[in-house]
Structure 1
Amino acid sequence: MLQEAPDMTGRQLYLGPLTDNRRWDMVRLRGDDVIVASPPKCGTTWMQTIVALLCSGDPELETQPTVRMPWVDIRVREMAEVADRIEAMNHRRCLKSHTPMDGLPLDDRVQYICVFRHPLDAHFSYRTHLRNMPMPFFTLWYPEDDQDGTTFRRFLDGGPEGFDGDAMPLAHIVRHYSAALALADRPNVTLFHYADMRRDPPGTFARVAEVLGISHPPAVMDQLLRAASFDHMRANAARYAPGGGSGFMKSDAEFFHSGSSGKWVGTLTDAQLAAYDRAMDAALSPDQRAWLEYGSRGRR
């Protein structure tokens, strides 16, 4: 339980059945902290792993994201215990958040890394993810037998905050993106795209290393790259998946389901795609939409 009403001055409240961004008010930030903030299923764990490997320089580092790189927002653990554990860490800390940047405490000393993915890819990945998780409160949004398209309809009409936000509708993804763009001119806020990370892992490592102010010899970087590959992380899912080895998920390996893109192609109807296009065009400029969907190369 939070001990007192937190100071939310100037910050948006994001409070749902799974997450509560007020919990950040019990974290004492340090000058070399790294916060990875992204919508779910956009590459958060992958980015956290890259950060942890680069900070340590050790490809055999025991990552255990939920322990070494805690998700501050999630309400499943008492925040006082989480805050004490974070405070006791003596390594460079990488903290996880699924809260948009307008709901996080901003500190000029802290590096904020925001990771995005095509909204439809993130949505379909989230569908698979929830089947692997004990989260019955999302059943109304993600029914097992979805003959009438409830899941996609909720994806399009859900709001960015409250219960809706935790169910990750399109509006929540767009809020994440818009909030990050509003701060992108700051030297300590950096945006990455999942598609770019997939296309160019060495370039991604080099860019993250530059953001963190870290350098390693080429041979070490090659080892770290291999450790953070999708196949290696899936093969060692108990080490890399959030809560890996605890039995929380039905399958740790299923957390790294495929990492591919375009699973929605041929699945959504023309009417569903047209409704998605209308929502995206109403929320973003053409250039903004192209980057959110496809990364630095845009749609080709």
Structure 2
Amino acid sequence: MIAPAHRYRSEDEDSARWVGFPFRDGDIVISTRSKSGTTWMQMICALLVFGTPDLPAPLTELSPWLDWLVEPRDAVYGRLAAQPHRRFIKTHTPLDGVPLDPRVHYVVVARHPLDMAVSLYHQAGNLDRARLAELTGQPAPVGPPRKRLPVEQWLPSWVDREVDPRAELDSLPGVLWHLSDAWARRHEPNVELVHYDDLQADLGGQMRLLADRWGFAVPAGRWPELVEAATFGRMRERADLLVPDTRGVLRDRGAFFRQGRSGQGRDLLDAAGLARYRARTAALAPPDLLDWLHRDA
């Protein structure tokens, strides 16, 4: 097993909780940036593991977020230890912050950073900050919430932010840090790099590829209902079962599955803004990764 190279911490996450985790042969670790297809990949894994859309428990119970500080570490470890099925575990930590075990499969979902950012903007507006502070032992917010810029004004500022990528993982530098690390590992036999747009374009094909790589034998007659259950529309209909909010952190659980489409971020920038974005990304990630990631040249 390769020990993590970095520790990632925020007010509500700590990747050190992975250290000492007792992996099992066949475990699946889902490593994504926020709003990049985490719940989608968790659902795909659940459908492959159980072979039916009728899941035995809410998705967050079946696939816990191991490094989220809202739930005690020992409680998460205990729930995972009690699971008799193949386990699939959520994290927003890059792979260099997670122990790498040859018995374990790692999947990283990549989404166009501008689309991810727009979804992140709307998600931030849906968080109950007071409840999150209460659950993580942080001081409660004081005073009225700061007025937010409209998304059209916020997005260019997100593109331009100069931050430490390891400290601000949901920034543009942080997103490309996460994906660059996964890109460098993409040829390793137990690492899968999946593009959000490929899931949209050919969900069934992508699910079959993952099933083959991970050793799931799915009867041919079961595929139609499994693929249908993983569509965005069907998942939104089942938000009460699938939304990752067992502790009341979201103001509106129904808003979690907002649109899920591609291209919304690019539509919000003018020509100068897009040129600025291209220049920033060219300085932050290798060109072959960017060609694969952007899909809009």
TM-score (norm 2): 0.88
Aligned alpha-carbon RMSD (Å): 2.3
- Secondary structure in 2 aligned to 1:257? coil
- Secondary structure in 2 aligned to 1:265? helix
Partner residue of 2:73 out of 72, 79, 83: 79
- In 1, the alpha carbon distance for the partners of 2:118 and 2:129 equals 17
Question: In the alignment, is residue 60 of structure 1 matched against residue 54 of structure 2?
Answer: yes
**One-letter amino acid matched to 2:10:** G
> Is the 1:38–1:99 Cα contact (8 Å) retained in structure 2?
yes
Unaligned runs of 5+ in 2: 134-140
Partner residue of 2:17 out of 16, 23, 27: 23
- In 1, the alpha carbon distance for the partners of 2:11 and 2:203 equals 35
- In 1, the alpha carbon distance for the partners of 2:11 and 2:93 equals 13
After TM superposition, give the deviation of residue 282 of structure 1 in Å: 1.3
> Is the 1:14–1:21 Cα contact (8 Å) retained in structure 2?
yes
> Is the 1:49–1:63 Cα contact (8 Å) retained in structure 2?
no
**2:136 alignment counterpart:** none
Unaligned runs of 5+ in 1: 1-7
Question: In the alignment, is residue 111 of structure 1 matched against residue 105 of structure 2?
Answer: yes
**1:198 alignment counterpart:** 200
**One-letter amino acid matched to 1:187:** P
Partner deviation per Cα, 1:85-121 (whole Å, 9 max, x = no partner): 1112111100001001111100000000110000000
**2:93 alignment counterpart:** 99
**One-letter amino acid matched to 2:234:** H
Partner residue of 2:149 out of 146, 149, 152: 146
Identity of aligned residues (%): 33
> Is the 1:16–1:161 Cα contact (8 Å) retained in structure 2?
no
After TM superposition, give the deviation of residue 233 of structure 1 in Å: 0.6
Q: Indicate how the Cα distance of structure 1 residues 9 and 214 shifts in structure 2: closer, same or farther if over 3 A, else same.
A: closer
> Is the 2:183–2:289 Cα contact (8 Å) retained in structure 1?
no
**One-letter amino acid matched to 1:146:** L
- Secondary structure in 2 aligned to 1:113? strand
Question: In the alignment, is residue 125 of structure 1 matched against residue 123 of structure 2?
Answer: no
> Is the 1:52–1:63 Cα contact (8 Å) retained in structure 2?
no
How many residue pairs end up in the alignment?
283
Question: In the alignment, is residue 161 of structure 1 matched against residue 166 of structure 2?
Answer: yes
After TM superposition, give the deviation of residue 38 of structure 1 in Å: 0.9
**One-letter amino acid matched to 1:83:** Y
- In 2, the alpha carbon distance for the partners of 1:63 and 1:109 equals 26
TM-score (norm 1): 0.87
After TM superposition, give the deviation of residue 269 of structure 1 in Å: 4.0
